[in-house]
Amino acid sequence: MGEMLANISHQWRQPLNELSINLYKLKQSTKEPSSQFIEIYEHSKAVIKGMSSIIDNFRNFFTNNGDDERFSLKDAAQDAILMLENTFKNASIKLEIDIDDNIYIVGRQNEMAQIFINLFSNSKDAFFQHNIKDKRVNVRAYIQNDTNKQIKYAIITISDNAGGIEDSVSDKLFDPYFTTKHPNVGTGLGLYIVRSIVSKLQGQISVSNLENGACFEIKIPLNGDNDE
């Protein structure tokens, strides 16, 4: 698995470099760029930078390269939103975020952003599979105290109204290469990687159906850094 992800990362790196160069040339060839052009240009640069970070994350994922850091959960969510905001806007998906400002996790911010990206993308694909018109994704995160174990947890829920998950496949969702999507759309690695990242954080992930959609819940143990 590690070798495969390293190969994928290598294949993605060159096209991203070419996109960055072409973006720079496009700006240089525009004598008086409009404010809208500059806005799109800066956003495109940020997306390319974000994708480059994710590639590094893929490459290091199974080798344990890179140092852990203390980061804000809300910042990780914002990184993911930056990557997908135009996609959600074009698809008329409403994203509602409610994350406590004081949740800090020790790990890798890029990996946590990857969790959000994968789960957001799953909802997006499910909307189109079920032809949902009023598309909504809700994200909530808060701190929960376990008085018995004297441990604090970050509880993260990502829910949608995309029709839910069939009971026959719910126990296979986190298996590598398992996908309900067309091969041209899904590889079956997204949720497997999500679960692997959560496990590295000593956390747990589960999924359940709501009245008209699905809800992923992630529970991550926290340290004393969240007492601030």
100-123 pLDDT, tens digit per residue, is 989 999 998 888 988 999 999 889
Least confident range from 83-97, 155-169, 176-190: namely: 176-190
Residues 47 and 83 in one domain: no
* pLDDT at position 185 over 50: no
- Rounded to a whole number of angstroms, the CA Rg of the chain reads 19
Residues 45 and 94 in one domain: no
Domain edge (last residue) among 44, 61, 78: 61
Domain edge (last residue) among 40, 61, 82: 61
CATH code (residue 144): 3.30.565.10
Q: Any bridge partners for residue 194, and if so which? A: none
Residue 43 and residue 50: Cα distance in Å, rounded? 10
Q: What is the pLDDT of residue 219?
A: 96
pTM over 0.85: no
* The one-letter amino acid at 77: A
Average the pLDDT over 57-67 and give the result: 58
**3-class secondary-structure state, position 93:** strand
Q: Between 103 and 50, name the one with better pLDDT.
A: 103
In the chain, the percentage of residues whose pLDDT exceeds 70 is 77
Of 176, 151, 169, nearest in space to 214 by CA: 169
Q: What is the pLDDT of residue 48?
A: 82
Q: What is the pLDDT of residue 131?
A: 78
Structural domain including 182 reads: 69-227
Q: What is the pLDDT of residue 60?
A: 58
Residues 55 and 100 in one domain: no
Residue 74 and residue 99: Cα distance in Å, rounded? 6
Average the pLDDT over 156-170 and give the result: 85
Residues 97 and 208 in one domain: yes
Residue 115 and residue 57: Cα distance in Å, rounded? 12
Q: What is the pLDDT of residue 23?
A: 86
29 in Cβ contact with 22 (< 8 Å)? no
Q: What is the pLDDT of residue 8?
A: 61
Of 135, 51, 48, 53, nearest in space to 89 by CA: 135
Of 72, 155, 135, 82, nearest in space to 107 by CA: 72
Residues 152 and 220 in one domain: yes
Q: What is the pLDDT of residue 70?
A: 92
β-pair type (135-146, 93-99): parallel
Please list, in sequence order, all residues whose beta carbon lies within 8 angstroms of the beta carbon of residue 211, skipping any fewer than 6 positions away.
Answer: none
Number of domains in the chain: 2
Q: What is the pLDDT of residue 142?
A: 95
Residues 27 and 119 in one domain: no
* pLDDT at position 214 over 60: yes
By CB neighbour count within 10 A (0-12 exposed, 13-18 middle, 19+ buried), where does 113 fall? buried
* pLDDT at position 42 over 70: yes
